[in-house]
Amino acid sequence: MTAAVQGTCAPEFENVRAEFERNFAERGEVGAALAVTLDGESVVDLWGGHADADGARPWQRDTLVNVYSTSKGMTALCAHLLADRGELDLDAPVSRYWPQFAQAGKGDLPVRWLLSHRAGLIGPRERLTPEDVYDWEKTCAVLAATEPWWEPGTAQGYHAVSFGFLVGEVIRRVTGVPLGTFLRTEITEPLGADLYIGTPASEHGRCAQLIGPDGGGTLSGAFPGLPDGPVRSLDAHPFAPLAIAMGHLPMGDVNSAACRSAEIPAANGNATAHGLATVYRALADGELVGPGSLAALRERQSRPDEPDLVLDAAAPGSLPFAWAGGFMLNAFGYFGPNKAAFGHGGAGGSLAFADPENRLSYAYVMNKFGGSTTGGDLRNLALVEAVYASPELARRTG
């Protein structure tokens, strides 16, 4: 389909505009926005298409959309901000801040392992209903009582949904306020970044309709091959680890008011591209945390060639995945040529990252469910390549 593209683009990034337009014309995009900053200034701020499947609502600059796991970067940033302030010790036991977490032999498990997907708590032993997952206190109580699926620290496995509750509850115990409130008051509002975890009802009218594989607002068919019913062990089925990790993500209408208003910090942040790029710009420019914390939050926590128990189940034979402290490292080059770039992608195809060495931030959001969480969606690959092909960045990156 063709779509009217609006916004601004610095002259040397006109090739980026062309690729953005191709996403609609050739790659099946419905509605999307792209924001890029360089040296603290906006160089790309584009949007186009429609915010709904029927084509009745044009996408606007302030259209919000669920970015799924791209939310995890914002959740991790809250933890690192507290660590930078000296209010949270990432090497301290989680139980220091959340005493109930010590159940099931987890008394010594450090906060760092929650951030680096090494806690073995990819999901509860019994599936939760959507109503349960919308209940913060209940979900956290269940996870606190859960026995890890593997010995913590010995392996990594993507905590697809539980990550947000585990890290978010530590943040709530330290600060006394919910994760979404801390993110808003300490990061997004001071920066003027349009981004929510737990989206207020007053903002729902700006939210795009997420269009799943079934053409509607559900994720039916998004994860083919998952076993039905409870999974009792990691080797019960080829997709068992993925089923456990995804089993408590509400798969119903992700466009419902209940889902938008709930806090699921690993999977339901609603953001504009400009909002995400603004936060990552501040990180790239050293505004949010000091140099030591910036280095620490992107320090690799994975062993070389270490498999990810969950992501490998989703895509057998995939390349080894590298985790930092809640952020994805640029293991595959999806974040451009700088291997030190870091960020997070979301199921469906959203992606946001920072490249501090080049003082660049990037964010792409969309409503047509497409590519993977890793940033390897064709829409992003084309855009990132075009960004780094601009004369100034080509000169910097050689």
Which residues are the active-site residues?
69
Going by the DSSP 8-state scheme, the letter that residue 342 receives in this structure is E
CB 210 within 8 A of CB 253: no
The angle formed by the CA atoms of residues 302, 268 and 139, to the nearest 5 degrees, is 80
Whole-angstrom distance, CA of residue 146 vs CA of residue 311: 21
Hey, what are 38's tokens? 């360089």
The single-letter code of the amino acid at 14 is E
Tokens 């953001």 appear where?
271
37 membership: H or E segment, kind and range: strand 31-38
Tokens 């032999």 appear where?
105
Hey, what are 137's tokens? 């206190």
Hey, what are 100's tokens? 């109930």
Whole-angstrom distance, CA of residue 188 vs CA of residue 204: 18
Burial class (CB in 10 A: 0-12, 13-18, 19+), 74: buried
How far is it between the farthest Cα atoms of the chain? Answer: 58
CB 52 within 8 A of CB 208: yes
**Closest C-alpha among 302, 57, 373, 317 to residue 157:** 302
CB 377 within 8 A of CB 349: yes
Q: Alpha helices of the chain — where are they, by DSSP H? A: 14-26, 70-84, 94-97, 111-115, 130-133, 136-145, 162-175, 179-183, 189-191, 240-246, 257-261, 273-284, 291-297, 311-314, 378-388, 391-397
Burial class (CB in 10 A: 0-12, 13-18, 19+), 129: exposed
